[in-house]
Amino acid sequence: MEAQQKIIFHVDVNSAFLSWEAVRRLKEDQAAIDLREIPAAIGGDRAKRRGVILAKSIPAKRFGIRTGEPVVDALRKCPELYLTGADFKLYTQYSRALLQILSGYTPEVEQTSIDEAFLNMTGTKRLWGEPVEAARRIQEEVSTKLGFTVNIGISVNRLLAKMASDFEKPNRVHTLFPEEISQKMWPLPVSELFFVGRATTEKLHQLGIHTIGELARADVGMLRSHLKKQGEAIWLCANGQDASVLSYEQEESKGIGNSTTIAFDVTDEGTAKLVLMSLTETVGARLRREHRKTEGLSVTIRNQEFQTSSHQMVLEHATNITQELYQSACRLFDELWDGSPIRLLGVTANRLAGENEARQLELFETVDYEKMERLDKAMDAIRSRYGSNAVKRASFLTEERIDAMPGKQQDR
C-alpha cells in the first residue's frame, strides 16, 4: 500500500499585534479607523520617542518600517505613523481563540509562538477536502469568528510550510511542495532562507551564491569547508529538507542547559538579555569544565501565561566561549520574543563536540579568540576557588534582582 503523503500547514497571523488591536477597536466602535489600512505600528512611546516597533501595518511597511527597529527611526521614516502601546493580555486572548479554532481541524497542533502554529493535516482529506480547500476553510472561520486574517503555507514538512506562509501577504494560501521548490523558492534571495542571517548571507555572497537555488546547487563539501556544520544545514534547507536545526524533537545527544524562573515579569529587552548573559555564563562554564564545545544552541521563553516557545540554530563554529554563546543566544531571542512578559528563560547547548574541535579562521579575522578563551578560564578558576559570585560582569552590579550565575545547570 502506498504511503500517505504528509501534509503540514503553517498558520501565521498577519501583523498579529496590530491586527488584534484593530479588531478590538472596530468591535468597540464600528466607525473607528482600521489600523491595518493606515501607516500604524504597535510598540514604544511616541511622546518620548523610545522603545521598538513590535508590529506594523502593510502601509507602514511601504515606508520601510521594520519590526524591531527603534521608534525614533520609524518616526523619521514616517512622521505621520500612528503608534499605540502593546496589550499582551489582549494578544493572549486572541492567540488562545485562534488555537481553539485550529484544534477543531486536527488534534496535532503545535504552537511555536503567540501568532504561529503548525498543523499536521495528514489524513484529513475526507473531513476537510484537498489541502488548499481546507486552508481556505480555516481562513474563513478565523476571519468570520475572530475578525483577523492569517496566511497559511502548505507542504510536506515544517520548513517548506513555513517558507510558503511567508510568500505574498496578507490572507493568502500558498503551497510549496517538493516539485514546486525550483519554481517558487529557488529564485528568492538567499537571505530569505530561514536561519541564513546577515553574516551568513555576506559569506555566501563572497562565494558567489546569491539565490536559494544557487545555494541548493552548490557543492556541499565546499559549503562545509567555509561554514562548517551550518553550511550543510542550510544546503539541506535550500533543497527543501528539514535540517536538524529545524527539528522540534529532542535530539538524541545530550546537551548542557540552564534555565531560570524569574521572580518578576521581564518586559524589556535589556533585562531579558542580562538574564541570557547569566545563563550563558553557567552553560559556558559547564562546557569548559567538561572539556566540550557546542555546535548548536537553543533559547526557550515562557511567558506569564505559561506558554512556552523555543528556537535553535547551528553555530558557525563549535565554541565554549561565553561571549560567543551570549551573542548567539541574543540573536535567537530577537527572532523568538513576541514582546509578552517573560517568566522563564532557558539556554541549552546541544550538538556537543570535543574541546579540540578546530575553528576555521577567516583570512582577515580581527577577533582574538584565544584571548577570550583565556579570560573565560581565568574567571572559571577564580569562581572555582572563591565561589560563583567572586567575580562578575559589571552589568550585574546595578541589577540586584538577577543572579550573575543562576540556578542549577542541567544535562539534557
**Residues belonging to the active site:** 116
Strand partners, 345: 260, 301
Angstrom distance (rounded) from CA 236 to CA 212: 11
Do 302 and 308 contact (CB within 8 A), yes or no? yes
The residue among 306, 350, 354, 308 whose CA lies nearest residue 328 is 350
Q: Is 410 left (phi over 0), alpha (psi -120 to 50) or beta?
A: beta
Cell 515562557 belongs to: 302
What interhelical angle do 198-206 and 220-227 show, nearest 10? 120
- For strands 116-120 and 342-354, give the pairing: unpaired
Question: In what side-by-side order are the strands of the sheet with 55-56?
Answer: 55-56, 40-42, 82-84
In single-letter form, the type of residue at position 363 comes to L
Beta-bridge partner residues of 228 = none
The alpha carbon of 98 is separated from its chain's Cα centroid by a whole number of angstroms, namely 20
158 vs 2, 169, 332, CA distance in Å? 22, 19, 18
List b or e across 26-59, with b for residues whose CB sees 16 or more CB atoms inside 10 angstroms.
beeeeeeeebbeebbbbbbebeeeebbbbbbbeb
CB 348 within 8 A of CB 297: yes
Residue 230 DSSP SS3:
helix
Helix (H) / strand (E) element for 232: namely helix 229-238
> Helix 369-386 and helix 269-289: axis angle, to 10°?
80
**CA-CA distance, 302 to 309, in Å (whole number)?**
7
Amino acid in position 52 = V
DSSP state of 200: H
Measured CA to CA, the distance from residue 174 to residue 26 in angstroms comes to 29
